[in-house]
Amino acid sequence: MGWCIPIYIRSDYFYPFDSESSSEERLLAVLIVGLPGEELPLCTGNLLDKRQHHYAKEADGSYDNSRLISKSGSCRLMRYTFDQVVDCFDALYERHYSARKFPNNLISIDRRAQENLHFVFIGDSRIRQQFINFLKFIPDFDWQSEPSPLPYYGYQGDMEVISDVFQLRLSFHWQPLINDTIINLVHQWAIGNETGRPNLTFLGMAVWHMLQNQGADFKLYKRKLTELAASLGQLAKVSQVIWLNQYPTVELFVKIDGYNSDIHSEKIHYYNQAIRQILGDHKSVRIWDSSNPLAEEYVRVCAFSQRVQYAYRDSSDSFFNCKDFSHTGYSALSQATQLLFNDICNAQKLNYMTLE
């Protein structure tokens, strides 16, 4: 397989970089080149499952991040901007309440004013990264956050953002291990009333279970995941549940407190296999693994660039480039977030276009 040489094409596909973005991050921002030609149909359906959709692969081993391939052929991905994300949330909100009408076919205005769409992210620092990337696509006109300001980097705690303008509530629950706390919480959501239940639950817990100081017990992990899977299956029948596949790591040839010998791509692969086997018994729970090529490309470019540095200068900087072995860089995560918005929003966009 050939190397992917990153070049500056289609840079508008990503959210704008801030002033702290490193040169490595800007270099890695465009990993994949789109192809010109006739416009393809918009991608719809389950875009997160690589068995149903996967990125088009080029002859040099790179991937085209502007389109996906499925059994029915090629389709194009949208580049979501602030305005398009807002339109999507408006449509999702209307659809959510269209199924909750009173006998006179009217929706209670007071009831609507009290409720927001609720998206929940649950897991470790990898899920926290995805939560932060998701927030970058949400205009911050009236954010009410807890804590305030949000401690983006290295924070091992819960976070929440509420926007009354967009009728949206976004929560992150720090939950690196599968234990009775998360099993009971998901169970209560599954059997409880609709008001307290998230509209979308996005989660992933694996790498902490690989650490020696957490027991590194693969059999225990599979047993706890099996317990959690039963409740996730129940919850997925009444709301959306997405499990994030664990991404490969950047291989470093020095030990970082032993963590990079506990957590590595080969072990992650075995955990991912177990996750698919266990969650596969609950068809309504979706596994998000179609973004893996983005993470794999990021890892390859890190090796190719030879910019890996083994000494951490700044803990926040490690999330921007190849110096952090376990967290995929934002260059790849921003593309993954674009794919997530395509999955959530494209069907709504097609419905809107049909009505125009």
Alpha-carbon span 232 to 202, nearest angstrom = 11
Quote the CA–CA distance of 31 and 63 in Å, as a whole number.
8
Please report which confidence band the pLDDT of residue 153 belongs to, taking 50, 70 and 90 as the band edges: confident
Q: For residue 175, give the 3-state DSSP assignment.
A: coil
| The pairing of beta strand 117-123 with beta strand 168-174 | parallel
Model pLDDT for residues 257-274, shown as the tens digit of each residue: 555 567 777 788 888 899
63-70: strand order across its sheet: 54-57, 63-70, 73-76
**Spatial CA neighbour of 150 closest among 186, 123, 174, 114:** 174
For the cut 50, the answer to whether the pLDDT of residue 11 exceeds it is no
Please determine, for residue 311, whether its predicted confidence score (pLDDT) is greater than 50. Answer: no
Neighbouring residues of 306: CB distance < 8 A, sequence distance ≥ 6: none
Q: What is the mean pLDDT of residues 115-144?
A: 91
**What is the spatial distance between Cα 51 and Cα 275, in angstroms, rounded to a whole number?**
15
Whether a cis peptide bond, with omega within 30° of 0, leads into 151 is no
Confidence tier at 174 by pLDDT (50, 70, 90):
very high
Estimate the crossing angle of helix 180-191 against helix 218-235, to 10 degrees: 10
* Helix/strand/coil for 47: coil
Confidence class for position 325, pLDDT limits 50, 70, 90: low
pLDDT at position 304 = 65
Q: How confident is the model at residue 255 (pLDDT cuts 50, 70, 90)?
A: low
Specify the higher pLDDT residue, 219 or 310: 219
Q: How far apart are CA 291 and CA 303, in angstroms?
A: 19
Residue 183 confidence class, pLDDT cut points 50, 70, 90: very high
Tell me: pLDDT of 246 over 80. yes
Whether the Cβ atoms of residue 233 and residue 201 lie closer than 8 Å to each other: no
The helix/strand/coil state of 68 is strand
> Which domains, and CATH codes, for the chain?
11-75 (no CATH), 81-355 (3.40.50.1110)
SS3 state at 161:
strand
- Reading the block at residue 90, the tokens are 């408006």
Q: What percent of the chain has pLDDT over 70?
A: 72
Mean pLDDT across the chain:
77
Condensed to tens digits (0 to 9), the pLDDT of residues 15-65 reads 443 444 444 444 444 333 444 446 889 999 999 999 999 988 777 777 788
Task: Detail the DSSP E strand segments found in the chain.
Answer: 54-57, 63-70, 73-76, 117-123, 144-146, 159-163, 168-174, 200-204, 240-244, 286-288
Instruction: For residues 318 and 301, give the distance between their C-alpha atoms in angstroms, rounded to a whole number.
Output: 16
Q: What is the pLDDT of residue 200?
A: 94
SS3 278: helix
Please return the burial class of 189, using the count of CB atoms within 10 Å of its CB with bins 0-12, 13-18 and 19+: buried
Q: Which residue has the tokens 């040839």?
A: 253
pLDDT on residue 225:
96
pTM score: 0.79
What pLDDT shows up at residue 189? Answer: 95
